[in-house]
Structures are given as structure tokens and as C-alpha cells.
Amino acid sequence: MEKILEIKDLHVSFQTYGGKVQAVRGVHLDVHKGETLAIVGESGCGKSVTANSIMKLIPSPPGTIERGSITFKGRDITRLSDKEVRAIRGVDISMIFQDPMTALNPTLTIGTQLTEGIKQHQRLSQAEAKKKATEMLNLVGIPSPEERLKQYPHQFSGGMRQRIVIAMALICEPELLIADEPTTALDVTIQAQILKLFDRIQQETGVSIILITHDLGVVAKIADRIAVMYAGKIIEVGTRREIFYQAQHPYTQGLLHSVPRLDQKTDKLVPIDGTPPDLFAPPEGCPFTARCPLAMEVCGKVYPFHADLSHTHAVECWLQDERAKQHLAT
């Protein structure tokens, strides 16, 4: 399958009064044409920083992309000028931000905000841009689109605003859509509608999607592949079935055990004890060592090797070493 995006050894840090926060530490990822890749992990693990790096939206200062490459269709985004990146943003790569109310300008009509980008990038007339905006509102399921174009963000519900933000992201027909926690503030009914909308849009347009979330229920519905992130690193990646049924990293297993399941009878959920490591001074070994019930002495001293379990499933964990497997078997 054709790769549309490839991230290699990405390091992103933020300089603060307390020191340097190493938010992303050597991320390797790729996204294929027409697929949905979900990046999951608890708050603060580096998911949104990785997404903003793809769009080159890391504020500098205090943020810095220290090293690594983000290759989109053969071009390394980290080496492009601001002008070159602006030509890509919204046209080839679009992003849906976490809170639709803050993503929309409360003083401008929905029509103005929808047509602004397409008029700039595609040089359309006002009438052509309005027609395109109407089509996009239809696509995302907003009734009476021509009337709705004249209204302001406060006149829409949370679910409707989220649909408008999705329409804004898709109006220039991007090849890659980054959705950063797109269903976090919505109730479960609206969440289901938004996820169904993503699935339909992908089938109709062929857009590739990076879905950033901490909600494994969302992931189970629409993700083709899943990357599990912890303390700024991708610690496991695989297809949806591999992650949900054959997870190998103790952190991934812990995430799955802490989610309620309808197919199992349990009296209580099993939480992951402890807290994530301090990224001002991240550990040299596996960052999950202090919380891992299966941790060995080597785990805290040396970062684990990259183990390919199949052509789609990979994990970074010392438990995949043959010596550890033999020890656990006895």
C-alpha cells in the first residue's frame, strides 16, 4: 500500500523555566493512502505534539523540532519554509482541533469561515466558493445549508459545530486529515454520528486519517491500524485486531484491561498504578518500567529493542527478548 506520510526519528522539545521538556522522543510512524491510523495513549504522552509537528504548528519559541524527518509525498516538511508549509496546510493536509468552539471565530459567519480557505488556495469566485461550502455542509449532514451559512457559531449545537469544523478541514479536498480528539466533548450519541461521518467521508473521498484519541471505544470502531504512545515514544503499533487481541506491551495490555467490556464479566476495572515519568529527565530505559508488573532489571537501564512480530505488528519491549521469554516460561 502506498505511503502518504512517513515520520522518522522525530524529536520535539519545549524550553521552559524549569528546563527542557522532551515531549516527543524518536517517533517512527507511517500512514498509508486511504487508511485510518489511530494514535492512542494517556494525556501528556505526546500525541497532539506529534500531530502539530506534522502541520508544523509547534510554536517557536518555546518549541523546537530538534531532529527527525516528516516526509509527505516525497517532501520533508521540517525543511520547508513557512511559505511552502502554508501552501500545504488546508490543501494537502488539514487538521480538526480538539475544541470546535475555539476553532471557530465567534465574530464571523460560518459561510465566511468556510469560504476563506478555498478562495485563497483555489482562487474561486465568491459564488463558486459559496456553492462549494454548501456542498460541504450537505456532505457533513447539516440541513438547510444555504441558510446555515449566514449564521454564527453560537447558533449551533456542539455536534453541529464539530461537523462544521470537519467541513472546513475537508473543503480543499486534502489527502491527509488529522483529527485531534474530535469526539472528546460530545455525548455518546453524537460521537457515534461523527464516527459514522468519518467512515462515510473516507469512503467517498479516499482521504487518509490520523485519529488522535485516548478513547479505545472510538478506536475500535474506525481505526485500521493503531499506534500506542507512552512518554513521547511509540511503544507498540499494529492492526486493530493485533492491538485488541494480541497486544504484547504491558502498557497496551493495561490500557485494554482498564476499559469496560460487554463480553466479559468483571466486578471492577484494573487500573494502571503509578504515574508517567517526568519528561524533564526521562528514564534511559523503558519509560514504563516503574509501573510495569513484569519489569526486569534491564528494563530500567537500557531502552528495549524494536521487535517486529509480523509485517504489521511491532513492539518495543524487553519481554520480546528470547531470554525473557524463556525465563517467564519457567
CATH of the domain at 205: 3.40.50.300
| Confidence class for position 204, pLDDT limits 50, 70, 90 | confident
* Structural domain includes residue 198: yes
* Structural domain includes residue 97: no
pLDDT of residue 330: 57
* Structural domain includes residue 111: no
Structural domain boundaries, residue 310: 3-92+174-329
pLDDT of residue 250: 94
* Structural domain includes residue 211: yes
pLDDT of residue 211: 93
Q: Which value, to the nearest 10 degrees, does the dihedral of the CA atoms of residues 183, 10, 83, 126 take?
A: -20
Between CA 315 and CA 51 the distance in angstroms is: 21
Mean pLDDT estimate for the chain: 88
| Confidence class for position 64, pLDDT limits 50, 70, 90 | very high
> Domains in the chain: how many in total?
1
Least confident stretch, 84-98, 189-203, 233-247, 255-269: 255-269
| Confidence class for position 52, pLDDT limits 50, 70, 90 | very high
Residue 23 has pLDDT above 70, yes or no: yes
* Structural domain includes residue 317: yes
* Structural domain includes residue 225: yes
* Structural domain includes residue 290: yes
Segment 315-320 long-range contacts (CB within 8 Å, at least 24 positions apart): 315/235, 315/236, 315/237, 315/248, 315/249, 316/233, 316/234, 316/235, 316/236, 316/249, 316/286, 317/235, 317/236, 317/248, 317/249, 317/250, 317/286, 318/286, 319/248, 319/250, 319/294, 320/248
* Structural domain includes residue 178: yes
